[in-house]
Amino acid sequence: MTAPESATHPAQTVLRLAMAQMTSSNRHDTNIAALQQIAHEAADKGAQMLALPEAAGLMNRDLESARRAVLPEDADPFIAACRNVASGHRMWVQTGSTPVLEETDGRFRNRGHLIDPSGKIVARYDKIHLFDVDLPGETPRRESDRYVPGERAEVADTPWGPVGLSICYDLRFPHLYRDYAKLGATMLFVPSAFALATGAAHWEVLLRSRAIENGCFVIAAAQTGQHDDGRKTWGHSLIIDPWGKVLCDMEQRTGLAVLDLDMASVSKARNAVPSLRNERDYMPARLPAHSINPQRSLKEGA
């Protein structure tokens, strides 16, 4: 990644952002209809950018039927619809994500896009960190069974400064966002479909941490409620300012929130606590040769 031109001098200082909270279905047509309604409402309210949640285009954990619906990017109807609403309403669209087919592998990629007001895709990001976890009392989740992990972080230029792209579980890997901040990112997008247990315990505190650590706005559009495929998601889409203040919490309602974001608050936060400038390189720690390796001991049942 290289720093975009607007890293130091964004062309516009106030962004009217629309953030959508959705209960996406296992059908493209249903989600496209929701997208079109959301985009129309956002445009009526003067939004310059629309942010969508993870799996906005298709949410389906049934692999057999998902294989019939998921297509390569250039044939995906939801991505095409996002490009159409961007150009039709002359607004930026951060698509959250939708699954696309990885033709060389047979699995999918969880892919998000940033689309400019002409309908051009200016950045695409594949979810790097896949949710392979065993939550207490729940069926083990293995995103890597159906998804190929992304290999590349992505920062994109906008009139309001550079933005860093990520998806959901990436939130737990703070070095990704630190890299974005070092490139001058003013906003970090974290579209998500958080589980109930982890949402209640970790969602807000992790998002606020990423905002505070890096002096960035964090835009976290989320899925909420009961989905067609049986899943339940946490909701609570959040917009957080660079000082860590929650500007918007959509709780568990679907719909749209529209806020004006003052980009000057990024430099104010970074000047007040200049952790990006204060960061220093250091030698990595090493365990003494005679110490017990705690990770090895856990594996051996010690």
Does residue 54 carry a catalytic annotation? yes
- Looking at 82, 143, 154, 168, which residue is catalytic? 168
* Angle (CA) 38 53 208, round 5°: 120
- Looking at 54, 82, 143, 216, which residue is catalytic? 54
Which residues in the chain belong to E strands, given as ranges?
A: 14-21, 49-51, 92-94, 98-101, 108-115, 121-126, 132-133, 141-142, 154-156, 163-165, 187-189, 217-220, 224-226, 232-234, 238-240, 246-249, 255-262
Longest Cα pair distance anywhere in the chain, in angstroms?
67
Does residue 204 carry a catalytic annotation? no
**What b-and-e string marks burial along 228-265, b requiring 16 or more CB atoms within 10 Å of the CB?**
ebebebbbbbbbbbbebeeebebeeebebbbbebebeb
Does residue 45 carry a catalytic annotation? no
- Looking at 82, 127, 154, 216, which residue is catalytic? 127
Residues forming the active site = 54, 127, 168
